[in-house]
Structure 1
Amino acid sequence: MMIFGFLSPTLAILIFMVAYPIFSLIYYSFFNFSALRQGTMKPVGFNNYKFLLSDPDLWDRFIFTGKFVFICVTLQMLIGIFVGYQMQKNFRGRDVIFTMLMMPMMLSPVVVGFLWRYMLNSEWGVINFLVSSVGFSKVDWLGQTSPALWAAAAADTWMWTPFIVLLATAAFRGIPETIYEAAEVDGASPAYRFFRITLPMSAPVLFIALILRLIDSFKQYDLFVALTGGGPGSSTETVSFSVAKTAFSYFYTGEASALAVILLVIIIGLSMILVRHLTKMGEKY
């Protein structure tokens, strides 16, 4: 009873901050409801879900979000692991370089979005200046769907690769040196040591980084608000962007709640699959 008494304040905060919003979201998703007209809640059952899942525009949002998540997470994991492997070594100026690498992660996504928006300006942006200086024609990065996707992925990768570097470096430096010394005595090559020792023994930490980046990438909203505004047209709207637009621009609160529930189910499903693999990996290593 005493333990429950000590835990009750934390449990109350969790129930209020987590459980209540989630159950309210699920509850509102079954109503034709607008936040502007709170007195007119009409039960519609699963009609909000049926409407959303039959909307081809929504599937375009999911496809775009999937492409964005795949590009970002792949680039961030590959670059982060490579840089983290280099940063685990002791060399002069390592701490200064490591600190500078962490700086983009400290910025707000909105700030990063506006920064890259100015850099990618089709007329006077520094990126097009560099492109034209080597003989290529300027690219309308934010005015076309495919370049805008890669531009958003580049901005997100620039911002969040340091997170992977941080975790990867910590994981690599946690591997005992005696294992590398024994492998070196046995004549193991650097590539063999990396793929057979470094990666397997740091896999649980890297898997956690993968899970966190997947979840965060699926929820990406503020970067696109600042960088593309969802344009051109609505071709760079992520699912989270569509949720916010439906709720706060059109005030279709019931439909927005249903869409948020769909996104929540997808994120929870992916997380459960990855956590199951992480558990097996932890038992193995």
Structure 2
Amino acid sequence: MSVTQIARTSPALLVVSPDNWRLAIAVGLLVSAPAVAALPPGTSFWVVGAMVALVAAAFVVNAWRRRYYGGLLVAPAIAVLFVMNIFPLLWSLGLSFFAYQSNLQSIRFVGLYNYTKVLTNEIAAPDNWNALVNTGMFVVLTVSAQMIVGFLLAMMFAKEFPLRRYLLILVLTPMMLSVVAAGVFFTYYYDPTFGILSYVVNSIAGGQFILMSSKAGAVAGIVFADAWMWSPFVMLLVLAGLVSVPKYLYEAAAIDRVSAWRRFWCITFPYIRGLLMLALLFRTIEAFKLADLVILLTKGGNDTMTISYQLIRIANEQNKTSEGAAISYVMLFMVIVLTNLYLYLANRRNRRVET
């Protein structure tokens, strides 16, 4: 920045005016940082809130005076977004650097201790690492099952056959149910006394069959329930790509006597590849948050604890709010890495298509 530019911007920062948003930001930072460090949590909360309101008011006045009416029109939506999403994220991020329990009134700054406690061999770290490993296992198994089943269902429903419409509605029904309803349904389905699965196995092999008695059975039960519920979501995305394939391409391939595999790989797959990647991204992100089915079916027993369920136990049951916030941001980091990997692969594919 040149001397002339500094001379132009510096006085603007020092001018006391209702529309001077630069001065409002500077005052907000100078007041908020000491307030968070020195004042009690209740007092610092209102001080920081007042500083945020001051900065927002400065932006609104500046937009009104400069006639940025477009910005004023979207300001309410931005305010709601900040209150409902951005502020809780920033608040929980700050909370992860403190030692705070929701059942106690004391709070103190501990820096990165909560993150080192989560990621190293301290106290609950073995449980955390085991939950992370289980989460990775569930991500691979559930997403793979959903992608395979959803893809096969989409290939089936892409063709016309009798009762297709009614069968499609029936297949989409699990996705419309709440997770609690699906979990309760599979609880009865797997019940060793009067469950349908146990009855069928008992009639064939004899003896009582308890699916949830081992880790392999518990994992299989959770994976089957999750795939039953969310495979239709993958099917819808893939089906949208299948119905968009021009029919004349298949007609030309039939004239040239192209094999079925060649038709799929050269005609069908390019149209559904992007949607498959999108479904993979969405279901992978959701699989990292798998907790409800685990709670309903096993309650974490038989070594089926996931990191999301571990977070619930630490934050809610053990009242370790700061440690729970640290775990949540570790999960957020992993999701961001996966999302960036997806965007990188998608951009590389687009560059190949353009060249």
Pairwise TM-score range, normalised by the shorter structure: over 0.9
Q: Which residue identity is paired with 1:34?
A: Q
5+ long unaligned stretches in structure 1: none
Following the alignment from structure 2 to structure 1, what is the Cα–Cα distance between the partners of residues 214 and 148? 27
Question: 1:47-62 counterparts in 2 under 5 A?
Answer: 47-54=113-120, 55-62=125-132
**Higher mean Cα deviation, 165-174 or 195-204?**
195-204
d(CA) in 1 for partners of 2:234 and 2:243?
Answer: 14
Q: Which amino acid aligns with 2:324?
A: A
Equivalent pair of 1:224/1:237 in contact (CA under 8 Å): yes
The answer to whether structure 1 residue 93 and structure 2 residue 160 are counterparts is no
Between the aligned partners of 1:84 and 1:138, the Cα distance in structure 2 is 37
CA distance in structure 2 between the partners assigned to 1:197 and 1:139 by the alignment: 46
Matches within 5 A, 1:255-274: 255-274=323-342
How far apart are the structure 2 equivalents of 1:186 and 1:138?
57
Give the 3 Å change call, closer, same or farther, for CA 94–110 of structure 1 in structure 2: same
Aligned equivalents of 1:4, 1:91: Cα separation in 2: 52
Task: For residues 2-46 of structure 1, give each alpha carbon's deviation from its aligned partner in whole angstroms, at most 9, with x where no partner exists.
Answer: 221222122112212221111112111111101222x31111111
Q: Please show how residues 107-186 of structure 1 align to structure 2 within 5 Å.
A: 107-135=177-205, 138-186=208-256
| Pairs aligned (count) | 282
Counterpart CA distance in 1 for 2:169 and 2:76 is 37
Q: Contact conserved, 1:105 with 1:160, CA < 8 A, in 2? A: yes
Q: 1:11-26 residue pairs with structure 2 within 5 A?
A: 11-26=78-93
User: Which of 296, 300, 317 is the aligned partner of 1:226?
Assistant: 296
Give the greater-gyration-radius structure (CA). 2
Distance in 1 of aligned mates of 2:74 and 2:347: 27
For residues 176-210 of structure 1, the C-alpha deviation after alignment (integer angstroms, 9 at most, x for no partner) is 11121122222111221112221122111111111
| Closer, same or farther: CA 154–172 of 1 in aligned 2, 3 Å | same
Could you tell me how far 1:254 is from its partner in structure 2?
Answer: 0.6
- Aligned mates of 1:97, 1:221 — CA distance in 2: 30
* Conserved? CA contact 1:203–1:281, under 8 Å: no
How large is the RMSD of aligned CA atoms in angstroms?
1.5
Q: State the AA in 1 paired with 2:337.
A: G
Relative to the length of structure 2, the TM-score reads 0.76
Which stretch has the larger CA shift, 101-110 or 198-207? 198-207
- CA offset digits 1:134-158 (Å, max 9, x no partner): 2265442223222111100000000
Partner SS for 2:107: strand
CA positional deviation for 1:262 = 0.4
* Matching of residue 247 in structure 1 with residue 315 in structure 2: yes
TM-superposed CA distance for 1:60, in Å, is 0.7
Which residue does the alignment assign to 2:285?
215
**Mapped contact 1:117–1:228 kept (Cα < 8 A):** no
Q: Which residue of 1 aligns with 2:70?
A: 3
CA distance 1:106–1:283, shift in 2 (3 Å): farther
Q: TM-score, normalised by structure 1?
A: 0.94
Unaligned runs of at least 5 residues, structure 2? 1-67
Matching residue of 1:41 = 107
Letter in 1 for 2:215: T
Query: Do the aligned partners of 1:204 and 1:282 also contact (CA within 8 Å) in 2?
Result: no
Secondary structure in structure 2 of the residue aligned to 1:142 = helix
